[in-house]
Amino acid sequence: MAGLSITSVKKRFGETEVLKGVTLEIEDAEFVSLVGPSGCGKSTLLRIIAGLEDPTSGDIAIGNETVTGVRAADRNLSMVFQSYALYPHLTVAENIAVPLRMRSLSTSQRLPVIGPFLPGAQNKRADIASAVQHAAEMLEISALLDRKPGQLSGGQRQRVALGRALVREPAAFLLDEPLSNLDAKLRVQTRAEIAQLHRRLNATFIYVTHDQVEAMTMSDRIAVMMDGEILQCDAPSVIYEDPSDIRVAEFIGSPKMNILPVEVRDGALSLFGQSMGRAAEGAQSDVFQLGLRPEALRLAESNPVLTGSVTHVENLGAEVFAQVDLADQTTRVTCRAAPTERHKVRLGASVGLSFDLRDALIFDADGKRQRRFEASLSQPVEAA
Amino acid sequence: MAVIDSPAIPRKPAQVNRQARTAWGLAGPALALMFLILLVPVLVAGVLSFSNYSLGNSGFDWVGVQNYERLFTRSTYEKMFIATFTYVVTAVPISVGLGLGAALLVHSLGRIGDIYKTVYFLPVMATLLAMAIAWEFMLHPTIGMVNRTLEMACGTWFEVIPFLANGCADGFPLWLGDRDYAIWVVCFIGIWQGFGFNMVLYLAGLTSVHRELYHAAEMDGAKSAWERFRLVTWPALGPTTVFVVTISCIRAFQVFDTIEAFWPQGGGPNKSAYVMMFAIFEKGIQQNLIGIGSAITMLFLLFVMFLTLIQRWLVERKVHY
């Protein structure tokens, strides 16, 4: 087990720059998710860490030892692939045994007929069999050991792929969207199991996904990647509550964060012409973007900050999300309502919304978070 | 036919009959053709193999298993079996092996691979009969290109090779006229002509190998090309290999063109290249001994059937995962 450090890794494919200098430190036994939309370079980064792809520039180190230029087979990493990549002609037990056979048996000891009778082979083979048995028990697939991958369901194959990864003790586990081929129910279940597995093995996990829910629920830290860069790498709660870039704020959270344009003029913050509060003296006049999570907006019958009509309602049972077209504006916002308020957000109903400015995040026109500006907002809502 | 319909709907017997008639009517032409041009000739050959029929004769006598008895007792037919099996046992493994090797090499190349693909496939497209005539000229003992090239090595350090040393001293082989070489020359030409076809089949098989499996093999510690081949490529090529081997075997049993072009009068020096197809042709057509010709044909059919059954069994049991 070891930590990893990735130092200004760049990767180009021809003219396209896929990774633009990624730097990331991963602690020993940490679970880090690389999350981002398709094509952001997260899988490429994982493959560079694995050694299946060479970086154009930059360095990878595993446990303080630089491995740039070292081939994948010598990096002592395990990987679970999106397609599972199980060997179709081998049984489950043989599939799980492959990494051990390749590493502990010599070429002659692996030979089909005479191999088992060569000196030393018997003991090694027995060790491998018991390691396979142990891994299978951990993943509860002992009953499947004699089957071939073609006879397994998607979830079972996924477990076999995990078994093949954890049968030896690698420096780190790399998982490339391992849940994306599973159905929704199985995905939730396996998600919890992988998180438990991480706690049990106490190993370094690097997990690539495009699903922010997976990243939020399993990780110690999330690295949000976009356009070949890591925008922010922090604990899930920090990423959600305190994003430093508007792209992170918009990507994480479902439904998406509401973004409203706000203006600062002579120190006064105004939203659609309504004064919202005052910034400290000296704040420059500019246009900003106000980010509000759906749960930050609440239905208000008196003194609403925003008004509009409900155009779409999503009832999830425990909560209701209503999309509200703001009156006289082209903007649409999503707000969360409690099930008890469901009658208020019927389709077509007029609703008033208000929010606490302390729940709002303020970004500049380029999308950078303006924490100092937020802190300088002296008055909570004084308007309307 | 009726399976398409929902079984829940009860139907009248008349309707069922009409559907059955339509079904037979539609399948009829194909069945009739199959009977006429495949099964009937096979049956006729089977029947004639127990007779002494000759074309033009008004009648024939039943001779029982005499024709088959001859096949297994006379030295001519012993030579036929030896030549045929020598050819099959040599040409099949080598042409399959070379086909696989060439496919792996071509597959690993980029655009240059296309040139090699064309080069290796050219002999497959050429007419074997014409190619055989060209080879006949090349293998001519005195004016042929092969022996004249070999003679160039005389007097150089190449003479350390015993074959060349003997050749320079006593003259190079007669090739097509030498009974120790004749069948091997036929094998060589068969391999040269056939492995390009196997290569193309293997190339098609290689495109279906999942690329991520190679990455998995690398992560699992398969470092050498041989280990990756054993772990990923070879198992994935299983179905292709069964097909290629079966096709190559059947083609090998069918070898005829080269023999007919080299030795139209009798299957090589001392009948050393007297293969089954040529025997069928010589007995059945040239000598008008339909009975014995049919008997060899039935035996030929038996071998091909046997190979096909093995292929079916392998495909169903072993190579599909």
Q: Which domains does chain A have, with CATH numbers?
A: 4-250 (3.40.50.300), 256-376 (2.40.50.100)
Q: What pairs with residue A369 in β-bridges?
A: A363
Nearest residue of chain B to residue A47 (CA atoms): B215
Q: Which of A56, A51, A139 is nearest to A93 (CA)?
A: A139
pLDDT reported for residue A383: 42
Average pLDDT of span A49-67: 92
B56 dihedral zone (left: phi>0; alpha: psi -120 to 50; beta): left
Could you report how far apart the first and last alpha carbons of chain A are, in Å?
A: 58
Q: Which residues have a Cβ under 8 Å from the Cβ of A43 and sit 6 or more positions away?
A: A176, A177, A208
Q: What is the pLDDT of residue B11?
A: 67
Q: What confidence score (pLDDT) does residue A379 get?
A: 52
- Cα R_g (chain B), whole angstroms: 26
Rounded to a whole number of angstroms, the distance from the CA of B199 to the nearest CA of chain A is 23
Chain B residues touching residue A99 (CB < 8 angstroms): 219-221
Which member of A78, A83, A88 has the closest CB to residue B219?
A: A78
- Return d(Cα B71, Cα B276) in angstroms, integer: 11
Label the pairing between strands A204-209 and A31-35: parallel
Complex ipTM: 0.85
Is-contact A149 A92, C-beta < 8 A?
yes
CA A94 to chain centre: 32
Does the structure show a pLDDT above 60 at B78? yes
Tens of pLDDT, residues A282-295: 567 788 888 999 99
Interface test with A, best of B219, B223, B317, B320 (most A CBs within 10 A): B219
> How confident is residue A145, by pLDDT bands cut at 50, 70 and 90?
very high
pLDDT value at residue B166: 86
CB contact under 8 Å between A71 and B210, yes or no, is: no
Q: Among residues of chain B, what percentage have pLDDT more than 90?
A: 52
Is B221 in the A-facing interface, judged by CB distances under 8 Å?
yes
Q: Which residue of B has its CA nearest to A100?
A: B220
Give the least confident one: A252-266, B39-53, B273-287: A252-266
Residue whose C-alpha is closest to residue B94's, from B168, B194, B163, B162: B194
Q: What is the CA radius of gyration of chain A?
A: 26
Q: Do A73 and B219 touch (CB under 8 A)?
A: yes
- Is any Cβ of chain B less than 8 angstroms from the Cβ of A349? no
Domain ranges of chain B: 75-126+190-317
What does the pLDDT read at residue A381? 43
The token duo for A21 is: 């200098």
- What is the Cα–Cα distance from A164 to A156, expressed in whole angstroms? 12
Q: What is the SS3 assignment for A149?
A: helix
Q: Does position A60 have pLDDT exceeding 90, yes or no?
A: yes
- pLDDT over 60 (residue B8): no
**Pairwise CA distance, residues B248 & A194, whole Å:** 50
| For range A133-154, the mean pLDDT | 91
Asked if B256 contacts B278 with a C-beta cutoff of 8 angstroms, the reply is: yes
Looking at A139-183, list the stretches that DSSP marks H as alpha helix, in order from N- to C-terminal side.
154-166
CA angle B215, B218, B224 (to 5 degrees): 130
CB-based contact A83 B212, cutoff 8 Å = yes
Taking only the tens place, the pLDDT of each residue in A155-199 is 899 999 999 998 988 999 999 999 988 888 888 988 998 999 999
Question: Which residue, A68, A50, A65, is CA-closest to A8?
Answer: A68
Averaged pLDDT score across all residues of chain A? 88
- Average pLDDT, whole number, for chain B? 89
Residues 157-186 of B with CB under 8 A from A: none
Q: What is the DSSP string of A65-110?
A: EE-TT--GGGS-EEEE-TT----TTS-HHHHHHHHHHHHHS-TTTT
- Residue A204 confidence (pLDDT) above 90: yes
Residue window 139-158, chain B: list those with CB within 8 Å of chain A: none
pLDDT digits (tens, 9 = 90+) for A14-33: 899 999 999 999 999 999 99
Identify the closest residue of chain A to B215 by CA–CA distance.
A52
> Could you report the per-residue pLDDT of B103-159, keeping only the tens digit for each?
999 998 878 889 999 999 998 898 888 888 899 999 998 888 998 888 888 888 888
Class of domain B75-126+190-317: mainly alpha
Instruction: Answer whether A102 sits within 8 Å of B222, measured CB to CB.
Output: yes
